Structure 1
Amino acid sequence: MIDRDRLGALLRRERAAFADRNPRSAEEYANAGNLFGRVPMTWMNKNAAGFPLYLATARGATLTDVDGHEYTDFCLGDTAAMAGHAPEATRKAAQEQFANGACAMLPTPDAAWVGKELTRRFGVTEWSFALTATDANRWAIRLLRAVTGRPKILFNSYCYHGSVDESLIVTSDQGPRSREGNVGAPCDVTTTSRVAEYNDLEGLERELAHGDVAAVVMEPALTNIGIVLPEPGYLEGVRELTRKYGTYLVNDETHTFSAGPGGATGRWGLEPDVVTIGKAIGGGIPAAAYGLSTEIARHIGQRTDLDLIDMGGVGGTLAGNALSIAATRATLEHVLTDEAFTGMERLAERFEAGTKQVIDAHGLPWSVSRLGARVEYRFANPAPRNGTDSAKAADADLEDYLHVYLANRGILLTPFHNMALMSPATTEQQVDQHAVVFGAAIEELQRA
């Protein structure tokens, strides 16, 4: 239903308008020759317009670039700023802690409070800290390999667990393979990993039956390939099969934290053995954590052959630093509260309804998926049921057109997909403005 020639012309027009309205960002990008890829981190080159916007200020759900343009920010740092930018309680706690020392390699009382609160929200009882969810997942994987003596980890195809080496595995017609573009893999990923499609219990059991899987590491709902929600009975079946085959279950809640105060684990009453989480819990300060069941912690504690203190492969000098822990406590205690999630979900429902109304009005074969405070529109109806189908449903030019069209009119989506996230600071007016601009973008695309 999309005229590809018209789509191409509109995309070129919007990119030209973007370049015209953002000369300072363009200049900063041109002058960044000593940065690899001209950006602080290469993923910042994932943008629809040819060069990134450069940040001047960000407060709440509003961002201003160096050219002075103001944006409603539905990207929110791809979940890192789900609490909103610079929330007052987190900012104050971080400033106070930094003034009193950030990295002394000594514990602070805030850590015990955070551990207790994470236990309340996610159920698992013993917590340790990292700076990124990637490291939280890496360290949890090492611990579970040690406990089980098994070498392999199972993932869902097109999952997202940061840059964990083992997770970059997908299904194909020829069998399991490395995900396209995997950089410098230390070994063939099939040596370390197994893979099954999300929502496929038969495929999961076939892989677990080999008896060599230490853990299933999964997002309770896929997110970074587009939101893919669980079908009825699927997550219960995963838990049943992992127990049947003596395999531990890890829920990575880094993105699915949007489902509620306890993420999908709390919302859906799940019973993982380990929970990992990062990004949002620090309110913008780097922070992550992994929580272990009492049973796993006891088994590890009894292993005198495991070096958990010095160079055994678990931990980092900055992990659990006083600044990150202070920010995490403030964020969980005062910002991303149970009450805040109620408001965030209400806004997401409003965003979902407005977007669906536009799609239906134009007769598009698209769908809208929502996970608590996170909403995404998909170029397929019904929405894809697994990661491979979700990857096939992508349309790079169409996504770029929508992203740059919205950006030129003051609205930012997450650059990796069509995701919008609500924060405690997001307003109904911002949500409704998205529906207006999104509708205009579709109207222009379909104009004869």
Structure 2
Amino acid sequence: MIARDRLHELMAREVADFAARNPLSEKAFGAAEHLFGRVPMTWMNKRAGAFPLYLDSARGARVTDIDGHTYRDFALGDTAAMAGHSPRATVEAVQRRFAELGGATAMLPTEDAEWVGAELTRRFGVSRWSFSLTATDANRWAIRIVRAVTGRPKILVNSYCYHGSVDESLIVTTPDGEGAAREGNVGAPCDVTLTSRVAEFNDLEGLERQLAHGDVAAVLMEPALTNIGIVLPEPGYLEGVRELTRRYGTLLINDETHTFSVGPGGATKAWGLDPDLLVIGKAIGGGIPAGAYAMSAELADRTLRRDDLDLVDMGGVGGTMAGNALSVAAMRATLESVLTDDAFTHMIDLATTYTAGIRATIERHDLPWSVTQLGARSEYRFSATPPRNGTESHEVHDEELDDYLHLFLANRGILLTPFHNMALMSPETTADDVQAHLDLFGEAVATLAG
């Protein structure tokens, strides 16, 4: 329903405005000759304009670039800053640990670690925790453990899932329901079908067909897909996954790194889930690199009884900086004082208001679009019916529309997650921020409609 000629004309204007507004960012990008892709991490090249914005400062739900423009930030570091940028309690804990006490990484435990483990147990129910610096690492280590414990070689994931750069997760379904490497994967160590199986989200029949091979150590899944666009579980689906994994002797890993937005204990607590292992990262450190994985007490005891596994030194389930005192102090402060139960109530209420406003704009313009909420986050998609699995979600992606809306909003002081239309609320996000976003979204849609 969007005239492409008009979209291209409007996009050209926004590109020109973006370049005119941000000469210092453009200059910094042009001078970055010693960085691979001219950026510190290649993901930063996922942008709608000809260059990325360069960060000057950030606080709460605001980001300021080096050209002096301040943005209402709904990207929030792709969930890493869900607590808001530099929350006071986390800053104070980090300063105390690093500047006053010192010893940020002494390869010695701190008492904070047990507090964090106990708090995560209270929130998620899974009771034995170990720490990492990223959720990607936590996923890798959880995969090693489930393979060791079960003696099975394969991991099953959902098509178009996201678990960081875990090799086993880069597999998608083919039309016949089997698996193939995801397009664009870089330097795969082997054919992904040797290590992985795949089933569509919300497809219990397809899941059972793959589990019936008897070689799957664990199902690694998000309780709702997030990074391909929000895809919610249909009624009975997650219960069916748990029943099938138990029937076929397969462990279940919930990756809550993004679905933490559902509430203080993520989807696991809010939806009454019972995984064998759980992974989380990003947000729990309040902006300091942190991740964690957990397992049930029964699975932990079973693993520790295995005298053939080197879980202390070269077993591949840790790293020199994992569980360091600085990260653990940041996790404690963030969980204790920032991402609290009350904060989630505020964040979810704002996301509910935002979702209703987006839906009203879509309906007012009679667009074949939809919007889906997942706790404190909300996302609109270019399909009349919300996709029910990763492949459907991938197929409705419209990069031209994405880029236009992102650039239109950025040129007017709103940041969204660069690779899809997700808005995340933080404890510092306000009702005024939400309304400003809704007003600009309405203006963007009206401009497209002509």
- What's the TM-score bracket when you normalise by the shorter of the two chains? over 0.9
1:261-297 superposed Cα distances (whole Å, 9 cap, x missing partner):
0000010000000000000000000000001101110
Partner of 1:138: 140
Equivalence map 1:232-271=2 (5 Å): 232-271=235-274
CA deviations over 1:119-173 (Å, ceiling 9, x no partner): 0011111000000000000000000000000000000000000000000000122
Q: Which amino acid in 1 is paired with 2:95?
A: Q
Spell out structure 1 runs of 4+ moving beyond 3 A.
Answer: none
Give the structure 2 partner of residue 325 of structure 1: 328
Aligned-pair CA distance for 1:373: 0.1
Provide the residue aligned with 1:445 in structure 2. 448
Residue 292 of structure 2 is aligned to residue 289 of structure 1: yes
Measured in 1, the distance between the counterparts of 2:262 and 2:384 equals 22
Q: How do residues 221-236 of structure 1 correspond to structure 2 at under 5 angstroms?
A: 221-236=224-239
1:190 aligns with 2:193: yes
2:81 is aligned with what amino acid?
Answer: A
Q: Which residue of 1 aligns with 2:32?
A: 32
Secondary structure of 2:213's counterpart equals: coil
2:448 alignment partner, SS class: helix
Report the counterpart of residue 23 of structure 1 in structure 2: 23
Q: Distance in 2 between matches of 1:172 and 1:393?
A: 17
Partner in structure 1 of residue 98 of structure 2: 98
- 2:72 corresponds in structure 1 to 72
Q: Distance in 2 between matches of 1:247 and 1:143?
A: 13
* Separation in 2, partners of 1:293, 1:415: 36
CA RMSD of aligned residues (A): 0.6
Secondary structure of the structure 1 residue equivalent to 2:412: coil
Please list, as runs of the form range in 1=range in 2, the aligned pairs for 1:74-223 lying within 5 A after superposition.
74-99=74-99, 100-173=102-175, 175-223=178-226
Provide the rounded CA distance (Å) in 1 between the counterparts of 2:111 and 2:356. Answer: 44
Counting matched residue pairs gives: 447
Matched, 1:381 2:371: no
2:406 maps to 1:403: yes
Identical aligned pairs, as a percentage? 71
Cα displacement (A) at 1:375 = 0.3
Calculate the TM-score normalised by the size of structure 2.
Answer: 0.99
* Distance in 1 separating the partners of 2:378 and 2:56: 26
Q: What does residue 314 of structure 1 align with? A: 317
2: CA distance, partners of 1:381 / 1:220: 23
Partner of 2:346: 343
**Alpha-carbon distance in 2 for matches of 1:30, 1:101:** 38
Specify the code of the residue in structure 2 equivalent to 1:170. V
Report the more deviating stretch, 294-303 or 252-261: 294-303
For residue 12 of structure 1, report the CA deviation from its aligned partner: 1.0
Which of 432, 435, 439 lines up with 2:438 in the alignment? 435
**What amino acid does structure 1 have at the position aligned with 2:37?**
G
Q: Give CA deviations for 1:394-419 in whole Å, capped at 9, x if unaligned.
A: 00000000000000000000001100
**1:329 is matched by which residue type in structure 2?**
R
In 2: Cα distance, 1:425 partner to 1:101 partner: 31
> Where do residues 50-69 of structure 1 align in structure 2 (5 Å cutoff)?
50-69=50-69
Q: Secondary structure at the match of 2:112?
A: helix
| TM-score w.r.t. length of structure 1 | 0.99
Letter aligned with residue 3 of structure 1? A
Distance 2:38 2:235 in 1: 46
Distance 1:279 1:121 in 2: 16
Give the letter for the 1:365 counterpart. P
Letter in 2 for 1:11: M
Q: Tell me, which stretches of 5 or more residues in structure 2 are unaligned?
A: none
Matched to 2:2, the amino acid is I
